[in-house]
Structure 1
Amino acid sequence: MKKPLIFVFLMLAHLCINAEGVNLNCAPTQSVCDNCPQYQTLFPLEQFSENTGALDIEADKSEIIEEKYLLSGNVEVNSENLYLSANEVEVSSADRSLLAEGNVRFQDESYLITSATLSSSRKDDELIAVATNANYQDYSVGLGGANGYTEVIEKTPTSVLLTNTTYSLCPVDQNDWQIDADQIELNLKKNRGVADNATIKFYGVPIFYTPKYSWVLAGRGSGFLTPEYSTYNEPGQNDDAYSLRVPYYFNLSPDRDLLVALTYMSSRRFIYEGKYRQLIAPKISADHQDSIYSIEAKYLPEDKITGLKRWLVNFSEELDLSDNIHLSAQFHRVSDAKYFREISKTDTDLKTLKSSLKYTYEDKENNFSLAVLTENEQIVNAGTPEYTRALEGSMSKTLNADQKIPIQVDLVSTRFAHETATKDSGTRTHGKFGISRELNIQYPKITPRANIAITNYSLKNSPNINRTILGSGLNIDFTVINETNLFSYQVNHRISPLITYNYRAKKVQGNIPLFDSTDKYDDIISFSDLTSGERYTGLDRITNANDITLSLESTYRKVGALEDDKDLLSLKIAQTYYTDDEVVSNISNTNYETRKSYSDIAASIDMSLNKFNISSAAQFNPDKSKVVKKENTISYSPSSRQFVSLSFIDDGTKETEKFYGAYPLTDSIHVFGGIDKTTSTGVTNAETTGIAYESCCWAFRLAHFKEDNSSGGHNYSTGMELVLTGLGSTSSPLKDKIENKIQGYTANLR
């Protein structure tokens, strides 16, 4: 069964269409294309005549016989929209017909034709050209234009009819693949090609025959997409299993499409798949996104191993109801927690699937926003239950936003739910009122602030809790900006020494449940963690403070750099000094934990120069005079096909190394790979290797995956993908998996 399926895969790979944007073509004006030979035409392109409504004729000899012009010897006929050269040409002034013989070269606005004979006539003021034993080329689209040989070609402004012909989208005289057919009709108006009795050949070897075959000439069109073949291993089985996925794409209309697919897993049986997308409305303004609706479903009627029905449903909708109102919906569910590991073979690192419905209103002019959210979750893979927002409403308003004393008012109320009955649940309502003022001092910039936060917990299985915390603070900003030079670039050097004082009342909070709060200091203390003045995420823990934070930020940015451009060099360092040796704890039923009178020092350096990027962050313990946690990354990325990235992470308990890269062996072949390894234990979390071939008219990719299965072993899988220019392209699961495993790599076969 395995070998026949592989053969079917190779056949179907050539019965495909353009659907999701993979484009192997070059523009007609582009003389040299990546991974392609120099753009060639059947003969050098000629310049059309500038004489409107007249013919420019050159010949060694001419004569007139009964309203016919007989031309011979190096004949050239040129008009405003066609060119013709031949050994002999006969032109009739009566019916405006033409007959050319011997070394014929014909050029109109889209096609080139070379042949032994060519005749042309006019019908309803349209030119009809017929040539025999001809070579043809659609040069209007450049290197990816159709070309081939035909016994007869009939060309009109809206169609091309080929008889006993070949057809290929490879460069001229380099037809790695081609279609041989009794007849091919290219309907330029309908953007459709239809072939009768077609045989598809790959490097001259016939691989597939069909009595009737239709494809889209340009853009999206209905038809088969590129199949995907992969091998994988089931836990506890020595022999590899294999998977074959054959997708079919329906181009329903310009604003909607449907993808259906049939996947055969040798160890599990058949999976039926469908994905429908629809553009509800184009984006209202440049600040918005298109409103899109999408639903995806996969169904395995009976798993051969478990005997269960396995399925996936993923629905999403993003809809702008007006300039200010947006609706977002997401429903993501699978049949069971092991679906991704056993069936999908992707997203195995997910812990929960979130489903949500969110309504937002934002009025930027009046500095007002409102949101309502409800969500639910499903535990998958090795995840554990978390709290979800059964219902949440939030509001934010800034008063006097353009004045010297802005007032910020925030209110959020959330009803939390949990699958575990013994876990606390209930409604948390939190309000915050804050005020700040920038003093009328030119330098330094001094901004005092004050706030009050009131929180109420209405709990299901515990007494209600009220919490009121007062806070204040002061920012003293000594920022200076100078223009200077760095790395031979003219830059703006911004140096920002900042002194921040934070005060928040000390409040017992150990009896408050932890719904959504986490400690930012659990991994590595960053510059932003210290300068934010708040240790915990969420609202269940608000740290006490009577602290001073000293920070220094120095950035070098090119003059005239765009908003998304990176700084050439950025240096940051910060430390906080505490007057209280106790801090609010985020350990359940624990009020406080002790701390030093100062924090560890957080420092980082980031440099971006040409294609090089260096990033280093460190957490330094002054007592031990030692760097206790660090993250270092260095990358070189001239393109998505040539790059290398190295990351080393030490979080104090384990050390991790990540390597990603791609390297071109030739203009057409590149290798890619990635590894994620916990070096302190020697466990390889994930490893990906692959090779890709890309040319103008076809491309192929092969990738091998190794993943830790959390049981002391690894899962292995191998996938491959083949794309033919203009006949096969898709956004496949293989593409998504490679991009997920190798950061920085773009998996489109181009």
Structure 2
Amino acid sequence: MPPRRLLAIAAAAALMSSPGVQAASQTKHPKASLDGSEVVCPLGTFICPPRPDNFALCRPNGQLEFYDPFLSKDSSLRSTAKTFVWADHVQSPDQTVYHLTGHVKTVRADQELHADVADYNSDTTDYDARGNVHYQEAIHLLSADHIVGNTNNSTGVATGNVRFQMLDSHGNGTAVRAEMIDENRNRYSVVTYSTCDIGRHIWEIRAKKLETDQTTGRGIARDATMSMYGVPFFYSPYMSFPLNNDRSSGFLYPYFEHTGNAGYQFRIPYYFNLAPNYDATLDPRYYSLRGVMLSGEVRYLFPKTNGTFEFDFLPSDNYNDQKITPSAPDTQGQQRYSYKFINNTILFPGWSLNTNINRASDQNYLHDFGDDLYSVSTTILYSSIYLNGSGNWWSAQVGGDIWQNVDPSQPNSVEPYKRLPRATFNMDIPFWHWYDAGLTSEAVSFHKSNSVEGSRLDLYPYVDADYQGSWWFIRPKIAYRYTTYALDAGYQDYYTANTTSTTTTIYKFNDASPTRSLPILSLDQGLIFDRSTSLFGTNYTQTLEPRLYYLYVPYRNQNNLPLFDTSLMNFDDWMLFAPNQFSGADRQMNANNLTAAVTTRLLDDGGVERLTATFGQIRYFTPQLVQDAFTPPTYWAGSDYVAELGTQLNDQWTMSTEYLWNPNTKKTELGTFTVQRRLGFDGVLNFSYRLRQNLALTALNTETYQKTVEQYDISAVYPLTDRWRLIGDWTYSVMDHETVEAVAGVQYEGCCVKVSLVARHYVTGYDGVVSSLLPGQTTPGKDTAVMFELEFKGMGSFSGQTDSILRRDILGYQ
């Protein structure tokens, strides 16, 4: 094997045999969460959801010292519950007003009051408590020197050394005066508030007034200053923040970043909770190189329509940067923008309108404002609008698709054909026992400047059957494909090409209405065997699933057909059972093929698939003559051998690999290897290797293998302690001898704060091929971003920019 591949396997073996991994693997089930409220993201999940705030790192039993855990939590019992009173001494001249002294205690349902001295009126439930007063109810604790209130109305006024705690939100603080307006609302004067441990406020809000409302789940501070470690850093005359995880209006966490293309960036979003079914976020941003930008998002959900609208708008670009493409227009002083609109509307039963619009102001937008490899590597923006209908046996759509080139290194001619309009109609009608009759059809008009244009009608009627039992299946299918074109005037000025192993022949279009018609026959059949077995002391059910797939399609010369939206797909495992190797209707492969494949699985007692392995190949009885313009026919006896293996023998690690080997050229065409190891509760270690190379022609029409990608990727979230963890990701391209992306960061999570500092170095204008370097460049463009994010727990649930990037870059990150 090549040294690089051996390196990949050796690294994985070392990973799985390391002492730390062996120790962790002895734990059969990872801890669900630090406080039992959270579920770990399953192994192999592509993008994990953000973790909710938890306060498990706070001081255990961090309530105020008089908290009674056995008191009822049901406040609805107050109206009917009796009031019980205890004291060392009781005086009552009229059996209505009681003067209580010494260890005074009153309890009614979820309400409990302690004091040194108290006066209580049993008729009105008024009370006046003095000296070491402690008050507790279902979601609130309060202590003071003096409290006057009414039990029935849940009202009261507390003065002198006021301390309070909200049991459902971890909020706590001190005040000069506190008012209990009713059972859901409180008002504090000259107050401090924080979600940190009592007496250990890393951050806090100091305000003249603070109102809390459990009904709305909001706290409102007036004339408020926010400080950290006693140092003020933010002032607002009005500050609104949540008391729970419900959606509510207010500022989200600020975000700082630096990139080479935009400079220093600062943003502080504001969230508008307009209604239960729609909201909005405004995100003003400042770029030191480019100016002030306004971004935002609107979301809505109604009974028959839902959608989102996202936008970025920069009124005037201040930066005079050097554009990648010399012919690109200068953007200095110009408006820069992008927007995305997604909407789904149900018009009436069975019919809906689906819209997906993505546009940018110019070709350089994502390159200039993208802050990660995902953004800057996006080369085409896709937009569509479709009217969709469906019934019990049919589906249809009418609409169109357009694309926008946002690759600054490529001319706009790389944009695919616009498909306006486009209509499809599909049906599948069961008519007798196992039999179905169906049709897939498409009518579309193609438009593109300086290219042959026209329309295409593709009809694909079929009859199939599905005979099956518990251990076998047979699925024959008979189909007929008819495709016809109507080319626009001027079609004679364009041409197509046909490549053989020695020459490339140019064909001019000489027919305004070319057609193609041919039958397609297939037979898919398989068996399923199973048995009980054991492995390493664990019982499993093992299956053995052999499968044969025969496909026959006669050859038709298709050199006179244009290539509107069709290309040759990369060979992969699912191509073993595909009736066509092309992605569109402009080409239909010829075939006289037999696919043989076998799969085995290990299922545990819970039905979880712990191991799966597949091996297969297509045998060709006739040459593969139909190809795209620049791929020669193949006269091979068989396709690539396809081998796949995936396993997750426990909840600690998972591994998958895929290997495609061409027996005709003795070359590996695809090799992938991925392993993921869980480290403790929130740690993860990933290693992956990917190689893809395809047979292509040189300028002299000689066959050669061209790599499209060969990369290593190592990423990790490594917990140092319960509070600190390191984050890293490194992607290296062997082809370019370049680091495609490198991420290094550190995160701290305490009782009431989260801090992230992440640096990212990534390639811009990169698509994995050395020959695609941008004009005038000797290496792919590079940029570096440094991101800092500070989150105050309990001040709103928000997944920041740093979290979003890391969840996309690191498999299993939470």
Instruction: State the TM bucket, normalised to the shorter chain.
Output: 0.7 to 0.9
Indicate if the aligned counterparts of 2:340 and 2:358 stay in contact, CA closer than 8 A.
Answer: yes
The answer to whether the aligner puts 1:428 opposite 2:477 as a matched pair is no
The answer to whether the aligner puts 1:539 opposite 2:564 as a matched pair is no
C-alpha distance after superposition, 1:204-229 (max 9, x if no partner): 22223334434344423333222221
Indicate the residue corresponding to 2:306 in structure 1: 291
Note closer, same or farther for the CA distance 1:514–1:718 as it changes in structure 2 (3 Å cut): same
The CA deviation at 1:639 is 7.8
The unaligned stretches of length 5 or more in structure 2 are: 1-48, 321-331, 492-508, 694-706, 766-776
Distance of 2:447 and 2:532 partners within structure 1: 54
The CA deviation at 1:632 is 0.8
The one-letter amino acid paired with 2:109 is E
The one-letter amino acid paired with 1:613 is T
Residues 483-632 of structure 1: pairs in structure 2 closer than 5 A: 483-486=532-535, 488-521=537-570, 525-561=571-607, 567-587=609-629, 593-609=633-649, 610-623=651-664, 627-632=668-673
Indicate the SS of the match to 2:805: helix
Distance of 1:639 and 1:334 partners within structure 2: 43
The one-letter amino acid paired with 1:518 is S
Note closer, same or farther for the CA distance 1:572–1:154 as it changes in structure 2 (3 Å cut): same
Residues 66-77 of structure 1: pairs in structure 2 closer than 5 A: 67-77=96-106
Moved more, 382-391 or 211-220: 211-220
Match of 1:186 among 193, 212, 230: 212
Indicate the residue corresponding to 2:133 in structure 1: 104
Indicate the residue corresponding to 1:17 in structure 2: none
Note closer, same or farther for the CA distance 1:296–1:603 as it changes in structure 2 (3 Å cut): same
The one-letter amino acid paired with 1:448 is P
C-alpha distance after superposition, 1:573-607 (max 9, x if no partner): 1111111134311125x8x6132111121111111
Indicate the residue corresponding to 1:740 in structure 2: 808
The one-letter amino acid paired with 2:319 is K
Distance of 1:24 and 1:231 partners within structure 2: 27
Distance of 2:487 and 2:537 partners within structure 1: 62
Indicate if the aligned counterparts of 1:293 and 1:318 stay in contact, CA closer than 8 A.
Answer: no
Indicate the SS of the match to 1:512: coil
C-alpha distance after superposition, 1:174-197 (max 9, x if no partner): 321112222322244454433333
Note closer, same or farther for the CA distance 1:487–1:515 as it changes in structure 2 (3 Å cut): farther
The CA deviation at 1:506 is 0.7
C-alpha distance after superposition, 1:588-634 (max 9, x if no partner): 5x8x6132111121111111232311111111233566645311111
Residues 84-103 of structure 1: pairs in structure 2 closer than 5 A: 84-93=113-122, 95-103=124-132
The CA deviation at 1:487 is 5.5
C-alpha distance after superposition, 1:230-255 (max 9, x if no partner): 11224xxxxx9311123222222222
Distance of 1:118 and 1:442 partners within structure 2: 75
Distance of 2:51 and 2:197 partners within structure 1: 15
The CA deviation at 1:709 is 3.0
The CA deviation at 1:393 is 0.9
The one-letter amino acid paired with 2:98 is Y
Indicate if the aligned counterparts of 2:596 and 2:618 stay in contact, CA closer than 8 A.
Answer: yes
Match of 1:254 among 276, 296, 306: 276
The CA deviation at 1:333 is 1.1
Indicate the residue corresponding to 2:29 in structure 1: none
Indicate the SS of the match to 1:375: strand
Indicate the residue corresponding to 1:149 in structure 2: 174
Indicate the residue corresponding to 2:440 in structure 1: 410
Distance of 1:500 and 1:196 partners within structure 2: 73
Distance of 1:594 and 1:120 partners within structure 2: 91
Note closer, same or farther for the CA distance 1:25–1:599 as it changes in structure 2 (3 Å cut): closer
Indicate if the aligned counterparts of 1:531 and 1:551 stay in contact, CA closer than 8 A.
Answer: no
Moved more, 735-744 or 493-502: 735-744
Indicate if the aligned counterparts of 1:291 and 1:320 stay in contact, CA closer than 8 A.
Answer: no
Indicate the residue corresponding to 2:28 in structure 1: none
The CA deviation at 1:53 is 3.7
Indicate the residue corresponding to 2:60 in structure 1: 38
Q: What is the aligned-residue identity percentage? A: 23
The CA deviation at 1:467 is 0.3
The CA deviation at 1:376 is 1.1
Distance of 1:648 and 1:439 partners within structure 2: 41
Indicate if the aligned counterparts of 1:526 and 1:603 stay in contact, CA closer than 8 A.
Answer: no
The CA deviation at 1:169 is 2.0
The answer to whether the aligner puts 1:451 opposite 2:519 as a matched pair is no
Indicate if the aligned counterparts of 2:679 and 2:685 stay in contact, CA closer than 8 A.
Answer: no
Indicate if the aligned counterparts of 1:495 and 1:555 stay in contact, CA closer than 8 A.
Answer: yes
The CA deviation at 1:722 is 1.6
Note closer, same or farther for the CA distance 1:109–1:438 as it changes in structure 2 (3 Å cut): closer
Indicate the residue corresponding to 1:16 in structure 2: none
Indicate the residue corresponding to 1:62 in structure 2: 90
Indicate if the aligned counterparts of 2:551 and 2:592 stay in contact, CA closer than 8 A.
Answer: yes
Indicate the residue corresponding to 1:30 in structure 2: none
The answer to whether the aligner puts 1:159 opposite 2:185 as a matched pair is yes
- The number of residues matched between the two structures is 691
- TM-score using structure 1 length: 0.86
Q: What's the C-alpha RMSD, in Å, of the aligned pairs?
A: 2.7
The answer to whether the aligner puts 1:474 opposite 2:523 as a matched pair is yes
The CA deviation at 1:313 is 2.1
The CA deviation at 1:62 is 2.3
C-alpha distance after superposition, 1:709-748 (max 9, x if no partner): 34424211111122222335544444433333334324xx
Match of 1:308 among 331, 334, 343: 334
Note closer, same or farther for the CA distance 1:196–1:398 as it changes in structure 2 (3 Å cut): closer
Indicate if the aligned counterparts of 1:641 and 1:670 stay in contact, CA closer than 8 A.
Answer: no
Indicate the residue corresponding to 2:789 in structure 1: 721
The CA deviation at 1:486 is 4.7
Indicate the residue corresponding to 2:247 in structure 1: 220
Distance of 1:499 and 1:362 partners within structure 2: 33
Indicate if the aligned counterparts of 2:546 and 2:598 stay in contact, CA closer than 8 A.
Answer: yes
C-alpha distance after superposition, 1:392-444 (max 9, x if no partner): 111111122662221121111121222x31x2221121111212235699975
Indicate the SS of the match to 1:340: helix
Note closer, same or farther for the CA distance 1:539–1:487 as it changes in structure 2 (3 Å cut): farther
- TM-score using structure 2 length: 0.79
Indicate the residue corresponding to 2:290 in structure 1: 268
Note closer, same or farther for the CA distance 1:302–1:627 as it changes in structure 2 (3 Å cut): closer
